[in-house]
Structure 1
Amino acid sequence: METGHGAVEDGTVKLSEVLSALSYVLDMVEGQPAGHVLRSCFIGMKVAERLQLTEEERSALFYALLLKDAGCSSNSSKVAALFESDDFRAKKALKTSNWSRLPRAVVYVARTVSPEGSVWSKARRFLAVGMEGPKAARNLVEIRCERGADISRSMGFPEETARAIRALDEHWNGAGHPDGLKGEEIPLLARICGLAQTVEVFYTAYGPTSAEEMARTRRGEWFDPALVDVFLAEARAGGLWGALGEPDLARSISLMEPADRVIAATPEWLDLTAHAFARIIDAKSPFTYRHSEGVARAAAKIGGHVGLSEGKVRDLKRAGLLHDIGKLGVSNRILDKPGRLTSDEFARVKRHPGLTYEVLTRVAPFRDIADTAANHHEKLDGSGYHRGFAGEHLSRCDRILAVADIFDALSQDRPYREAMPMERVLEIIGRESGEKLSPESVKALGELVSKGEL
């Protein structure tokens, strides 16, 4: 995916570019190939053009399409637990299943549950999922869509955007979720988003012919018949499928944002985006509730205490908010495992800082914080991961973030344990001061705690 195009007139990057680049990690959470969100956005906006929606409507739709999966991490833990399966695998398989029809739903469950288990464990889990039935499906969709809508609101997008995300999985015939809306009860923008994302999944998995056939088959069932007709007219006009395969699709999408509604990626918008994605990150596992916010707060406090400039403190806070974005690429079967990880599982966890770096370097305004965010598990003696950097390769901000990460992990409640007493937290961190952790950062932490500022 290309980024960095379509800058506004003063040279500032567009917010849509930032969200387009970050959508790469949302694709991963949903078990989709890279570019799923972007291709869905292109399809949806092409339908909107044919419908001649107003610029206000197209702007609301544009950001709904870019943020449609903002809530995707919030049900990952429940999906993995319900199916006893890798959440990425379970979500990917669901996207091509007509789960509103009972026979197809049964086949999906049978193929998905306990893939590595015995026949008996598969049967047990199959029955358990069957007993949960529609209630479980509705709950999983509601968690995802409500969280996504809430995130869009927290970023300041209009209610039309939030409503489109909330009703993303409603079906024209009323058999969708979470509210069972039917026909024109479903907001128009949500109907467009739902059609666009499903067309994209089938296009990527099986090709254009299958995508068009799926739309015809589900016309009047999943999708608004009139919208299906508009989509098929766009497909027949030529150019749609070829455009989806262009290497610079991100540029084409950037140009689809209504010109008089372009949002520049100002520092304030970047802060809102970092906070929004911190919520997405921490929702992946119940073990990380508000961890990213806690790390960001501690890092900013330490940075200010040791005299970093206001700009450096702001960068450090953003790095704290986004340091674990790579964990969105780790299965919940590993993140939520109650017992000891195998060497292979731990190796997969240790790759998450590398993915953090990969994701953040895609985002032009976040490239300067990518190294610091990715170095949060590095140690002064070179014993950390993922790069094994020693002290001479670690910046002051790197060292601060490493201390802040450990501090928050030890001092906050977790579902599996209560927060450690502060004296114990400082004792554990203090033992590594000098050898593994920065003495300056550890000292600043202790002084802030003693003053009640952390």
Structure 2
Amino acid sequence: MSSSPAPSSAFRTTDVWALAPSPGDGAFRLAELLGTLSHALDLTEGQPPGHCQRACWIGTKIAMQMGIEGEALSNIYFTVLLKDLGCSSNAARICELYLADDITFKRDFKTIDGSLAAALRFVFDKTGLESGFAERVRAILNILRNGGQIAREMIETRCHRGADIAAKMRFSEPVQEGIRWLDEHWDGSGKPEGRKTGEIPLAARIALAAQVADIFHAEGGRHAARAEVAARRGTWFDPAVVDAFLAAERQPGFWEAIEADDLDSRLFALPPAQSSTVVTDDYVDDIAAAFADVIDAKSPFTAGHSRRVTLFTDMIAEEMGLEPTHRRWLRRAALLHDIGKLAVSNQILDKPGKPVEAEWASIRSHPAHSADILRKVAIFRDLADIAGAHHERLDGKGYPLGLTGDELAPEVRMLSVADVFDALTADRPYRKAMKVEDAFAILDKDTGTAFDADCVAALKRAVARLVPSDEPDAPMLQWA
């Protein structure tokens, strides 16, 4: 390395290398791991922190009131907790169609009363507010003419994507199906298939009611939640689910838990959480990879970004002699380094022009969001500072903290080189992907000021080996 990092609370150092804790240290239950990671899903939906946890508490209490227990109760617990796994996948489409900030749009849409009149008012009030008059009129007319099909496609994309990610996390078919049919309504008025009554899995019926209850509680308190759920009895909601909710919410401690600062500990004390799997190293890797898919689904320009950055980071780490356990730890940081981007609107992420100052401030905030989320997750806490520093530079001109060379751990240097290399060699809203040789030329130009020379050299060696020696014309070979 060009210079050794100063020790920090995130890792221990001997000579040059930071010795990452073994991924196997300690035992963590699945509910705790996913419950804390669910804060990332709240970001992309624009919900107050803890929404997924609060909805999970409500949904589990409804199920317990209905006499559900054992595996069936566990399926409902995880369906509600992970109901928003696919929500990042429709963010870009919302911005494109409604000419609006996807995060604010999704947050506000959930608070309308569900009537056609309210939906129409919402479209007129929210569509294209920052666009020219003609562009706004075209967008509104398109929505009015094709609104049903648009809504069906977006809900199908979101819910099917969420179910697919749940499968990657090894969840059972009942959990997958609960997420897949979240937006179907008891009376058949939902999307995407217009399923009704018993055609909708019970987990989905409970999850939808729990979601609405928490959203209206956050907006207007206990009475608002109670009134909204009751008003949709027999239309959106299964009457039996509504009756169970109205009985459960009268029980001592129901609302107090939701409004308490220690909801997470109460949620993790419920029977489904206590009986959930103790995660192995391989399972943690699968969950990190699945959340990388959630992150990368946010924008068409970031599809596969987290996985490619992980590959390039691991290639550098291997070249520089990191042990397998250390490399595994670093791969997790790479997979999750951009989790904070879920808090940034696609109006900014996908903008073809240069961001204005407020937009740039939002972009610069995402590494701090990444670190904040990962610090909440016990098993990822020791890699939070690594993920959160991936846009820092040796010369102190990076963000969000402006750290300088001696403050940047070796793992940060590896990750930042890998991140920039992938960004340069992938399509972006403002330019096409660069050739490998052009990307390395840019890295070379900033080596020693922004990037660590040893990390850049390691990436060049690793990339060169990807091309067989009998292909001398391959441009990347010149950096072997």
Question: Which of 33, 43, 48 is the matching residue for 2:58?
Answer: 43
1:119–1:416 distance in 2 versus 1, CA, 3 Å: closer
Whether contact under 8 Å (1:30, 1:72) holds in the other structure is yes
Structure 2, unmatched stretches of 5+, are: 1-24, 468-475
User: Quick one: distance in 2 between partners of 1:31 and 1:300?
Assistant: 33
Contact 2:105 2:126 in 1 (8 A): yes
Q: Equivalent residues in 2 for 1:239-254 (5 A)?
A: 239-254=253-268
Aligned to 2:473: none
Equivalent-residue separation in structure 1 for 2:323 and 2:36 (angstroms): 28
The residue aligned with 2:370 is 356
* Counterpart contact for 2:309–2:418, Cα < 8 Å: yes
For 1:237 and 1:361, the matched residues in 2 are separated by 33
| Residue 275 (structure 1) aligned to one of 289, 295, 302 | 289
C-alpha distance 381-11 of structure 1, shift in aligned 2 (>3 A) = closer
Q: What whole-Å deviation, never above 9, does each CA across 1:358-388 have from its counterpart, x for those lacking one? A: 1111111111111111111111111111111
- Written as runs of structure 1 = structure 2, the 5 A alignment for 1:24-173 is 24-99=39-114, 101-117=115-131, 121-173=135-187
Question: What's the offset of the Cα at 1:411?
Answer: 2.1
Give the corresponding residue for 2:471.
Answer: none
Q: Distance in 2 between matches of 1:310 and 1:289?
A: 27
8 A Cα contact 1:411 1:421, kept in partner: yes
| 1:53-75 deviation per Cα after TM superposition (whole angstroms, max 9, x unaligned) | 23111111111111111111100
- Three-state SS of the structure 2 residue aligned to 1:135 is helix
Residues 417 and 456 in structure 2, CA contact (< 8 A), matched pair in contact too: yes
Shift of 1:221: 0.3
| 1:119 CA displacement | 5.3
Q: 1:261 aligns with which of 275, 279, 289?
A: 275
Matching of residue 14 in structure 1 with residue 29 in structure 2: yes
Indicate how the Cα distance of structure 1 residues 378 and 212 shifts in structure 2: closer, same or farther if over 3 A, else same. Answer: same
- TM-score normalised to structure 2 length: 0.89
SS in 1 for 2:190: coil
Say which of 441, 450, 455 aligns to 1:436.
450
CA contact (8 A) 1:64 1:165 kept: yes
Which range is displaced more, 232-241 or 334-343?
232-241
Q: What percentage of aligned pairs have identical amino acids?
A: 43
Do the aligned partners of 1:62 and 1:257 also contact (CA within 8 Å) in 2?
Answer: no
Residues 380 and 390 of structure 1 are in contact (CA less than 8 Å); yes or no, is this contact kept in structure 2?
yes
**What is the TM-score with the length of structure 1 in the denominator?**
0.94
Aligned to 1:295: 309
Q: Which amino acid counterpart does residue 207 of structure 2 have in structure 1?
A: C
Query: What SS does the aligned partner of 1:236 have?
Result: coil
Aligned AA (2:294) = I
Per-residue deviation, 1:21: 1.3
Q: Which of 179, 185, 209 is matched with 2:223 structurally?
A: 209
- Whole-Å Cα distance in 1 between the matches of residues 291 and 337 of structure 2? 10
Give the residue type in structure 2 aligned to 1:409: A
Task: Render the CA deviation track for 1:16-35: whole Å, top value 9, x for unaligned.
Answer: 11211121121121111111
CA distance in structure 2 between the aligned counterparts of 1:280 and 1:207, rounded to whole angstroms: 31
Amino acid at match of 2:119: A
Residue in 2 that maps onto 1:398: 412
Q: Partner of 2:244 in structure 1?
A: 230
* Alignment CA distance shift 1:29-1:440 (3 Å): same
Amino acid in the other structure paired with 1:60: N
SS in 1 for 2:128: coil
Once the 2 structures are TM-superposed, how far is the Cα of residue 92 of structure 1 from its aligned partner?
Answer: 1.0
Contact 1:287-1:416 within 8 A present in 2 as well: no
- Secondary structure of 1:116's counterpart equals coil
Q: Confirm or deny that 1:335 pairs with 2:349.
A: yes
Residue 38 of structure 1 and its aligned partner are, at CA, apart by 0.7
Q: Which moved more, 1:441-450 or 1:11-20?
A: 11-20
* One-letter amino acid matched to 1:240: F
**Structure 2 counterpart SS, 1:21:** helix
How far apart are the structure 1 equivalents of 2:274 and 2:47?
Answer: 32
For 1:420, which of 434, 456, 467 is the aligned residue? 434
CA contact (8 A) 1:82 1:129 kept: yes
8 Å CA contact 1:74–1:143 kept in 2: the answer is: yes
CA–CA distance in structure 1, aligned partners of residues 426 and 131 of structure 2: 35
DSSP 3-state at the match of 1:361: helix
Cα-to-partner distance string for 1:243-267 (whole Å, 9 max, x where unaligned):
2111111111111243773212332
1:180-237: CA deviation from partner (whole Å, max 9, x where unpaired): 1011100111101111111111111111112111112111100001111111111233
Q: Supply the distance in 2 between the matched residues of 1:346 and 1:126 (Cα, whole angstroms).
A: 28
Which residue identity does 1:265 align to in structure 2?
A: V
Pair 1:391–1:93, CA change in 2 (3 A): same
Check the 8 A contact 2:352/2:429 in 1, yes or no.
Answer: no
Higher alpha-carbon deviation: 243-252 or 287-296: 243-252
**Whole-Å Cα distance in 2 between the matches of residues 32 and 234 of structure 1?**
23
**Aligned-residue offset at 1:115:** 2.7
2-structure distance, mates of 1:207, 1:343: 36
Q: Please tell me whether the aligned partners of residues 353 and 430 of structure 2 are also in contact (alpha carbons under 8 angstroms).
A: no
Cα displacement (A) at 1:117 = 4.0
In 1, Cα distance between the equivalents of 2:299 and 2:147? Answer: 23
- RMSD between aligned alpha carbons? 1.8
* Aligned positions of 1:305-324 closer than 5 A: 305-324=319-338
Q: Secondary structure at the match of 1:255?
A: coil
- Kept in 2: contact 1:86–1:332 (CA 8 A): yes
Alpha-carbon separation, structure 1, partners of 2:427 and 2:118: 41
Q: Tell me the distance in 1 between the aligned counterparts of 2:463 and 2:26.
A: 42
